[in-house]
Each structure stands twice: as structure tokens, then as C-alpha cells.
Structure 1
Amino acid sequence: MIIPETVTAQRVLVVDDHRKIREPLAVYLRQHRFDVRTAESAAAMWLMLKQQPFDIVILDVMLPDGDGMELCHQLHRRTPLPVILLTARDATCDRIRGLELGADDYVVKPFEPRELVARINSVLRRHGKQTQQPPRALTDTLHQYRFAGLSFIPATGMLSGDGADAIQLSTMEGRLLSAFVAHPNQVLSRDRLIDLCVLPGNDVFDRAIDRQVSRLRLKLTRMLPGEELLVTVWGSGYRLAADVRVQPL
């Protein structure tokens, strides 16, 4: 079978700490025209996800440095990347928990490789063969945002306003402001901000988000003294109290 040059092989990441499962499975999937990479641990998985895009992850539930169920939940929160769980657990409660945490399918070991190929193709069809995309707040960089007399350009991280010197935001501050201007007057929880602003594999916790929001708030106050644009909604998160207009660069 010859694949036309216009067709791009779907990229699969196989994560399993057992080499005798991981490597033969990778060979089998390559024979079925998938572009396959492998990882033996959670740490290696996150590193691979940082380095290149994938279309689907085949994830073992039992890894030496992480619980596959929780890893699946983290992936589900941070990226639209579909996940198929591999596990020796065949109890109904385990399958239900995996699906509730965001898995797109669940395959019990030992499994027939042909069945896994069929399940991969089924999941990819449901996802429209979509590839991994960074969070929206990280990619929306071709516009400038106008709010409360200020102008913000995500591509440069520059915040400017009438009668005030422009301020260069840090990378994280720029990502946070991108999230807020994309969701004006909406309360964004800490978890939601992590989902929008943090790349997969980077561990950022609630307190770190709080510190970054505080730094961003100080810079906004420097631009507009006496005005509170970033409002803390106790117990819920933060809200940008401003109407926003989007203008192409």
C-alpha cells in the first residue's frame, strides 16, 4: 500500500515503562503507517510533548513516576490531545474512572494489537484527526487588545497606554493578560488560568498563579493609577473588569 505524499502520518506517543511492550507495539504501529515515538516514564512523556506535537497518546496506567489516571486527567485539562489508557486492571470501576478523568478509550492488557489500531483510528476519527494545539491564550498573538485606555500586543508582550510609558510584561504575565483579555468580565479560576497559560509538563501551582497575577496587577495599576482592573473574586478566582476590543495588527 502506497500512501500519497499529501497524507501526513498520524503521530502517536506510546508511554509504557515495559520495554517488551513498548518497543514491539511501536514497531507494529509503524507497520500500520503511524509515526510513533515512545516514552518510558511520565517525565519522558512531558518532555516529548514539549518538543513536538502529537495526534494521540497511548498511556500505561502504571508508571514508575506517576499514576496514569492522574496523568490522563492533567492531559485532558491542558490540551485537546486524545488519550487511550492501557492497563491490566479490568474492573468496571477502573474503566469508568479512566473515562471520567478524560480518557477517550480504555484497553485492557493483554490486548490484540489489531484491536488497538482499530481503537486508535476510531478515536482519531472522532477528533477529526486534530493535532495537539497550545492553549488559546498562548497562540492568540496576531491582534492587539484595547481595554480601559490601554493597548496590549501578545506577540511582543508590550502594554501601553495614553500618557504612560510602555511596559514589557514577562512571559507569564503576558500569558495571563492574554487569558484575561480573551475572557473579559469573566471569573477565571486558578485551575482555568493554569489550563490557559501553562504548557503541558510545566508544574505550576495555585500560589505561583497568585503571585503572577499580583505582579500583573501592579503593572496595570502603574499604567492606570487608582483603577482596579484585575478583581479578586474570593473563593472563585480573578476577573478583568473591563470591556475589550480586538484589533488586527
Structure 2
Amino acid sequence: MRRLLLIDDDEQLAAPLAAFFRRFDCELVSATTPSAGLALLKEGGFDAAILDVMLPEMDGFELCRTIRKHSDLPIVMLTARGDVMDRVVGLELGADDYVPKPFEPRELLARLQTVWRRSGSRGTTAAAPAAGPRLMAFDGLSLDLDRRQALRQGELLDLTGTEFELLVMLAREPHKVFSRDEILERLRGHAAEDLLTRAVDILVSRLRKKLEPLDCIRTLRGVGYAFAAGPAA
């Protein structure tokens, strides 16, 4: 059974959501404040966290940043419908996906399942092995798909799950140009929204900074991005 942690100050949300998730062999544990949620996370045993943006003590963005300092636990943010900046900021801070409020529980479950598929074997249900090589080596960069690790000139990089997935996706097909919409659809598991293509630019910019001084990602203005690292010597 998968265990989910909901951190949302809406006390009316947890009970019906927990009842829904039980039908799909998932246990939902809830907290109404970030401090209570962080205390539960320290105990471990969770397969994903669901964070509301509007919270007491600290907002969901700060909470996401705090969790990301110590954990690569899958995170889904609950954002105000139509507030594109909430979604962009959440992705920039390392959230794996977002669900706009109000939402259908089935949509939230579908987003979580997509995140679990992308993130390998996190959680209680093993994922199918990814296709292709399990080790990828390039000039100054190596990717270990089983351990979900990236090494830049021998140094382990601190990548979020989404950053790692983007890097692997580009590296699997060097020099192929991926459009922003294609990147969003592959990473999110659902059709891209035009207004969210900016999130791809933010994600690529953040990944490039972590890869410096390597220049692995090429931009084709107005078209998209391509992996440009050469083969390992």
C-alpha cells in the first residue's frame, strides 16, 4: 500500500480524499500545518507529498523548498486554478507536478501515478524497467539510470526528479530537437498547456546552471532544446 502525505489547512478535504484513495490501495495521512507535516515526513514511509500553496506558518513554495533540501520524495502542488505563476514557481522549486484547485480526486491520482512511473521504483509498487541503457556516458557527464544519479566530471549532481528525467530524455536522443510542448507532455504525462511552456525554459535554465561548466543543452531559438554533449573519450 502506498502512503501519501497531504499538507493542507482545509480540514474538510482530507476525509473524502482519504476515502477515495483507499479504494486504490493508498493510505492518505494529513496535516493542516507545515510543521506538523514536516514532523510526519521525518518519520519516513511516505511515497509522495501533496502540498497546498496557501498554508499557515510558511507557504507551499517554502515548504517544497524545505523538503527538497533533504529528500527527492515526489511532490505534487495544489495551486489556484488559472494561476500560472504558482505552477511555474512550484516546478522551479522542484515540485514534480501540480493540480489546480478545485480538482477531481481521480485527476490527482492520475498525476501521482504518472510521477511514480517517471521516478522509477519509489514507493511500494515496482515500476517497469526503463528501456535502453542503464548507464550513459558522455564527455564529462555520466548518468546512472538505476540509481537515478548524474555525475559531472565525477561530482554527484543534486538534481530534482524532474531535472533528472529531462536530462535523461534529452540524452537518449542526442541532437534531436525537442519542442517545449513535447518536453512538457513527456515529463508531465498529459497534454501541455501553452501558457506553461515558460516552465520548460525555467527548468532548462536551472539544469544548465547545475551542469556548468559543461555545455550539454543547445537552444534552437523558437524551436526547442537538444542534447549536445559529445561521447565519452
Contact 1:42 1:63 in 2 (8 A): yes
| Cα distance in 1 for residues equivalent to 2:6 and 2:23 | 15
> Is 1:12 aligned to residue 7 of structure 2?
no
Of the three residues 32, 39, 44, the one matched with 1:47 is 39
| Cα distance in 2 for residues equivalent to 1:70 and 1:131 | 24
> Is 1:126 aligned to residue 115 of structure 2?
no
> Is 1:79 aligned to residue 71 of structure 2?
yes
> Is 1:35 aligned to residue 27 of structure 2?
yes
The equivalent residue for 2:62 is 70
What's the offset of the Cα at 1:35? Answer: 2.0
Amino acid across the alignment from 1:29: F
Contact 2:79 2:87 in 1 (8 A): no
| Cα distance in 1 for residues equivalent to 2:102 and 2:16 | 13
Q: 1:109 to 1:32 in 2, by over 3 A?
A: same
| Cα distance in 1 for residues equivalent to 2:113 and 2:98 | 14
CA displacement 1:6-40 (0-9 Å, x = unmatched): xxx11111111111112211221112210221111
> Is 1:103 aligned to residue 95 of structure 2?
yes
| Cα distance in 2 for residues equivalent to 1:25 and 1:42 | 19
SS of the aligned residue for 1:114 comes to helix
The equivalent residue for 1:59 is 51
What's the offset of the Cα at 1:83? Answer: 0.3
User: Where do 5+ consecutive residues of structure 2 fail to align?
Assistant: 125-154, 156-233
Contact 1:86 1:108 in 2 (8 A): yes
User: Where do 5+ consecutive residues of structure 1 fail to align?
Assistant: 1-8, 133-185, 187-249
CA displacement 1:130-168 (0-9 Å, x = unmatched): 149xxxxxxxxxxxxxxxxxxxxxxxxxxxxxxxxxxxx
- Give the TM-score of the pair, scaled to structure 1: 0.48
| Cα distance in 2 for residues equivalent to 1:113 and 1:75 | 24
CA displacement 1:159-215 (0-9 Å, x = unmatched): xxxxxxxxxxxxxxxxxxxxxxxxxxx8xxxxxxxxxxxxxxxxxxxxxxxxxxxxx
SS of the aligned residue for 1:117 comes to helix
Contact 2:80 2:100 in 1 (8 A): yes
What's the offset of the Cα at 1:89? Answer: 4.9
The equivalent residue for 2:140 is none
SS of the aligned residue for 2:13 comes to helix
> Share of identical aligned residues, percent?
46
Contact 2:79 2:86 in 1 (8 A): no
Contact 1:82 1:123 in 2 (8 A): yes
SS of the aligned residue for 1:69 comes to helix
* Equivalences, count: 128
Contact 2:47 2:73 in 1 (8 A): yes
Amino acid across the alignment from 2:34: A
Aligned pairs (5 A) from 1:209-224: none
Report the RMSD for the aligned CA atoms in angstroms: 2.4
Amino acid across the alignment from 1:93: M
Contact 2:7 2:30 in 1 (8 A): yes
The equivalent residue for 2:164 is none
Q: Which runs of 4+ in 1 moved over 3 A?
A: none
SS of the aligned residue for 2:77 comes to strand
The equivalent residue for 2:206 is none
